[in-house]
Amino acid sequence: MSSPHDMLDQPLPRAIFWIAVAFSSFQIWTAAYSPLSSQVIRGIHVGFVMLMIFTLYSGGRTGSWGKWLGWGLGILAFALGLYHWVYEADLTARAGQMTEADMVVGILTIVLVFEATRRMMGWALPIICGIFLLYGLFGQYLPGPFVHRGFGLDQIVSTLSFGVEGIYGTPTYVSSSYIYLFILFGAFLEQAGMITLFSDFAMGMVGHTRGGPAKVAVVSSGLMGTINGSGVANVVTTGQFTIPLMKRFGYSPAFAGGVEATSSMGGQIMPPVMGAVAFIMAETLNIAYIEVVKAAVIPAILYFATAFWTVHLEAGKRGLHGLAKEDCPAPWKAVRERWFLLLPLIGLVLLLFSGYTPLFSGTVGLGLTVVLIFGAAVIQGVGAHWLRYLFWLLLGVACAGFVQFGVSAFFVIVAVLGVLLVARTQGRHTLRLALDALAEGARNALSVAIACALVGVIIGIINLTGVAAEFGGQVIAIGENNLFFALFLTMVTCLVLGMGIPTIPNYIITSSLAAPILLKLGVPLIISHMFVFYFGIMADLTPPVALAAFAAAPIAREDGLKISIQALRVAAAGFVVPYMAVYSPALMLQGGSLLAVAYVTFKAVVAIGLWGAGITGYLKQRMNWAERVWVVAAAALLVAAVPMTDELGFAATALFLIWHLTRGRRPPQTLQEAA
């Protein structure tokens, strides 16, 4: 077992399965009661992550030797995590004074984190982090402005392995608390049948329209994004259904995979359960998570509108139709049958908007989900409606006890329901489902958690050496009088880094370097961070390391590189959204009246519509190159937000629509002619 993507749909080996269950149980316990210090929780969290990665992924070694080496490294890594618990008082008392044992533990931790990341994610991220590590060790010998004063090996090891700005820094803190809980939340909902609910609803709503199968992929992935912030996880769940469906109705394998990859990556910016970056951003900016949600909601809707619009135009261009109406499930029937699965999601949103922390909200949401799953299994088969109503009423009253007794109320309710389930044959299946959800949650968290740990190396070196300030000064010197140029450089940095590393380290690296620059140029911090976040997602679709595209490759039976190119086509119109947010902060609900928000949102919709038409070469009918250049220029005018550009943009749009809609229509082409 060596490929992370190949293993996503394979059962875990028995021993690793129980390690994963123990990992999830540890995370729930610490989230509910905070019995240990934050630093100890982070150490054990990273220890569990490396134990699972080393035992799951051979790193290219085959045979029993590779297996036993993996177990040896995994157990060693876990023991290193426990070191922070066993010697917590001594480490606190020494406060940076390194002993020989500390040095050995610290160096081994750094080496094993690098190796675990390589096994999980390939060479790109370890190489980039390794460059920063070498800079910290030997940067005093560099010529020019990036030279630093020099640091001893003990300082480097202390910062990276024992400080709060290295491997156990803010990203790992967020990974070990919020992120893991929300991944578990999504895993339980998926096991309970939320995928079926979202797929049936999407199929019923848009499956019969033009290009219906591709629209089903967009809508179902958008809905999945509300409970799951992982693009790759979304691909391998909804993609199993949507990609073959798109292929069957005439879309090429590359385009089908590209649509699913693009839609699934959007799950990272779709509230309420956004990707890991959103939680890291909230901690970095020291703001409430709900503020990040507010800033993301309109761009997230526009992202999925972009994908929906592009597949609609592509379907029109290729003459592709939807499914027969009678073959589509009734959307509201699906909601009526599984409405109760929406309750935890609604509860989560209400708690977040009421000002509760993501940690508390996620714990309560997870508790509600498990209670609903267990409760539905207990009452299954009971025919008397009054008895069913009474059961749910009493269960609801019991759950309300969390207001007085805290999350312990959920543990008691789950324990009682679990005892009732043991007595029923079908109930044991539900208990197994819960164990599977705990194990899947642990497996889904591995890539996020190990990336959070390794990018701590970059954060530690940046803070130790002060290189970010120097880099910022160089870029400001280039773009200090031109905000657009500074934004463009930031975007290029995101996209280039995204060719080798995933969203989380991309965001952390680029925001550390670019956000202070953009702040000096007048861009509010949350908008500059959202700008980096958004393009970090776009970068995840760029070759050669487009994780979502390569996850879709085995399902589509197509080359991952071709899928990533098509994914960029589908998402390309969305490139205008972050720029519009910078020039018009109302798009991210940062100031401005309701009218200002409505106006800039309308502008963004028009710009996306024009850009999508220009990229696909189709609106009401096929467009020639002159028309395509015209609409792209009109969209650019709407984005610019300087005097008269809006008026010119709307005028250019009106002229194009009059011309395009009144010129002679060509007969629609068949799929074979278009090909």
Give pLDDT tens digits for 339-348.
Answer: 888 888 888 8
Mean pLDDT of 452-469: 82
Q: What is the pTM of this model?
A: 0.74
Lowest mean pLDDT among 80-94, 406-420, 654-668: 654-668
Helix, strand and coil percent figures for the chain, each rounded to 5:
80, 0, 20
pLDDT of amino acid 643: 74
Kindly write down the DSSP assignment for every residue of 308-354, as one continuous string: HHHHHHHHHHHT-----GGGSPPHHHHHHHHGGGHHHHHHHHHHHHT
Could you tell me the pLDDT band of residue 150, with boundaries at 50, 70 and 90? confident
Mean pLDDT of 424-435: 85
Cα(214)–Cα(508) distance, rounded to whole angstroms?
33
Could you tell me the pLDDT band of residue 72, with boundaries at 50, 70 and 90? very high
Torsion on CA atoms 228, 229, 235, 236, rounded to nearest 10: -60
Mean pLDDT of 337-356: 80
More confident residue, 646 or 385: 646
The answer to whether the CB of 579 falls within 8 A of the CB of 640 is no
Give pLDDT tens digits for 209-241.
Answer: 887 888 888 888 777 777 666 676 677 767 877
The answer to whether the CB of 563 falls within 8 A of the CB of 553 is yes
Cα(261)–Cα(558) distance, rounded to whole angstroms?
13
The answer to whether the CB of 251 falls within 8 A of the CB of 320 is yes
pLDDT of amino acid 60: 58
Mean pLDDT of 450-478: 77
Closest residue by Cα to residue 397 from 409, 380, 381, 411: 409
The answer to whether the CB of 277 falls within 8 A of the CB of 536 is yes
Mean pLDDT of 1-12: 57
pLDDT of amino acid 83: 95
Closest residue by Cα to residue 337 from 205, 216, 192, 220: 192
pLDDT of amino acid 674: 40
CB atoms within 10 A of CB 79: 14
Closest residue by Cα to residue 247 from 482, 552, 477: 552
pLDDT over 90 at 34, yes or no: no
Average pLDDT, the chain: 83
Share of the chain above pLDDT 90, in %: 19
Mean pLDDT of 393-413: 83
Closest residue by Cα to residue 167 from 34, 30, 285, 47: 47
Closest residue by Cα to residue 331 from 223, 237, 212, 198: 198
pLDDT over 50 at 2, yes or no: no
Give the residue carrying structure tokens 């002993």. Answer: 99
pLDDT of amino acid 41: 95
Most confident range, picked from 371-380, 433-442, 483-492, 536-545: 433-442
pLDDT of amino acid 670: 47
* Cβ-count burial 513-537 (b if 16+ within 10 Å, e if not): bbbbbbeebebbbbbbbbbbbbbbb
Q: Can you say whether the dihedral through the CA atoms of 617, 623, 629, 631 is positive or negative?
A: negative
pLDDT of amino acid 48: 97
pLDDT of amino acid 147: 85
Give pLDDT tens digits for 167-191.
Answer: 998 888 888 887 788 888 878 887 7
Q: How far is CA 50 from CA 31, 46, 118, in A?
A: 20, 6, 11
Most confident range, picked from 240-244, 328-332, 437-441: 437-441
Mean pLDDT of 69-78: 94
